[in-house]
């Protein structure tokens, strides 16, 4: 293990000598910028010829002077008429019943077959086939015991019990309470909440155990840290290098000239004619028919071969 102070500095030990000249804090913009005086512009705002009056302001308007107050009419209140029951009896007729007369012709006949009604006045029998065939089994009569008739006794009832008759008091008097009739005086002292358990079983004197802290691996120095690094102790500042400004000087105001909308493309461009596609010819010029394939495509070979060794074929 080694510390930062044990390292050998690689920066040369040069002493820094700051310049004694006063720094003017000037920039290229401040040197090249020319201050222009403010231009006095002519105001186009019309002159306000209206003079302010010194008289107090009157809150009278044309509306207040010319307004005529009209009397208000009483609001209309609708009065509901009391309901009077009609004396004519209700006939139950509706507009449909009165005005509807039906279609012209004979009324429709009922398509339901005629069923003759039995001409007898016998009552309807509620018996079914199930009730007639499946009768209940005969059950024997239930054996019942007739309750005896209660006859109240003629003599009066003796309300004494066996305990009252046989267990009498030895001396002929009932036993008295053994509780002493001593009157206890109420103490006005405050209540002591101490008991036998609290006096005999007192809490143990236990001490709080200290936490087990492991021993530190590094021993911190007792002296305060100076917070200085190798860079701070061995760094040598150098003087600032003043760079020369390569910015060109301002040539001044340029004369206003209109922009010529001409480019090299517009002046040197030569339009070319549209060429017809060779596949649109039945027999393209400069090509010789070679043959057709299975699908029916025609192949043509150029008459004059160029520098390329591969042949150019056209499929039509």
Q: Nearest to residue 275, comparing CAs of 291, 286, 267?
A: 286
Paired strand residues for 292:
298
User: Model confidence over 100-122: pLDDT tens digits?
Assistant: 777 777 777 878 888 777 666 67
pLDDT over 80 at 53, yes or no = no
Using CA atoms, how far apart are residues 84 and 92, in angstroms rounded to an integer? 19
Using CA atoms, how far apart are residues 60 and 66, in angstroms rounded to an integer? 11
Q: In what order do the strands lie in the sheet with 298-302?
A: 287-292, 298-302, 314-315
pLDDT band at 308 (very low <50, low <70, confident <90, very high): very low
Query: 8-17, 228-237, 250-259, 262-271 — which is least confidently predicted?
Result: 8-17
Using CA atoms, how far apart are residues 122 and 180, in angstroms rounded to an integer? 98
Beta-carbon contacts of residue 279 (< 8 Å; ≥ 6 apart) = 314, 315, 316
- Check residue 316 and give its pLDDT: 57
pLDDT over 50 at 2, yes or no = no
- Check residue 31 and give its pLDDT: 82
Using CA atoms, how far apart are residues 18 and 110, in angstroms rounded to an integer? 132
Q: What are phi and psi of 62, to 5 degrees?
A: -65, -35
Neighbours of 316 (CB within 10 A): 17
Cα-Cα-Cα-Cα dihedral sign, residues 207, 211, 214, 219: negative
292-310 residues labelled b (16+ CB within 10 A) or e (exposed) = eeeeeebebeeeeeeeeee
The H-or-E segment that residue 135 falls in is none
- Check residue 9 and give its pLDDT: 64
User: Model confidence over 23-33: pLDDT tens digits?
Assistant: 777 888 888 88
User: Model confidence over 233-262: pLDDT tens digits?
Assistant: 888 888 888 888 888 888 887 777 777 778
């Amino acid at each position: 293990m080694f510390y930062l102070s044990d390292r050998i500095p690689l920066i040369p030990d040069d002493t820094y000598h700051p310049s004694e000249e006063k720094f003017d804090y000037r920039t290229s913009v401040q040197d090249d910028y020319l201050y222009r005086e403010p231009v006095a512009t002519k105001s186009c705002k019309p002159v306000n010829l209206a003079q302010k009056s010194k008289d107090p302001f009157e809150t009278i308007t044309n509306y207040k002077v010319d307004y005529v107050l009209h009397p208000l009419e009483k609001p209309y209140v609708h009065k509901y008429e009391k309901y009077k029951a009609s004396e004519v009896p209700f006939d139950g007729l509706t507009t449909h019943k009165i005005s509807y007369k039906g279609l012209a012709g004979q009324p429709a006949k009922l398509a339901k077959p005629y069923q003759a009604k039995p001409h007898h006045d016998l009552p309807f029998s509620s018996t079914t086939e199930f009730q007639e065939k499946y009768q209940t089994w005969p059950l024997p009569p239930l054996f019942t015991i007739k309750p005896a008739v209660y006859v109240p006794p003629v003599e009066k009832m003796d309300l004494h019990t066996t305990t009252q008759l046989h267990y009498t008091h030895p001396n002929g008097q009932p036993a008295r309470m053994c509780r002493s009739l001593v009157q206890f005086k109420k103490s006005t002292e405050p209540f002591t909440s101490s008991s036998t358990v609290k006096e005999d079983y007192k809490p143990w004197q236990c001490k709080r155990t200290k936490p087990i802290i492991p021993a530190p691996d590094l021993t911190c120095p007792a002296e305060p840290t100076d917070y200085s690094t190798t860079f701070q102790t061995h760094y040598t500042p150098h003087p600032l290098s003043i760079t020369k400004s390569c910015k060109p000087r301002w040539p001044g105001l340029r004369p206003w000239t209109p922009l010529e909308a001409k480019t090299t493309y517009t002046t040197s461009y030569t339009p070319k004619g549209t060429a017809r596609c060779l596949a649109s010819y039945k027999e393209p010029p400069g090509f010789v028919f070679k043959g057709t394939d299975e699908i029916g495509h025609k192949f043509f070979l150029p008459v004059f071969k160029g520098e390329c060794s591969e042949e150019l074929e056209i499929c039509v």
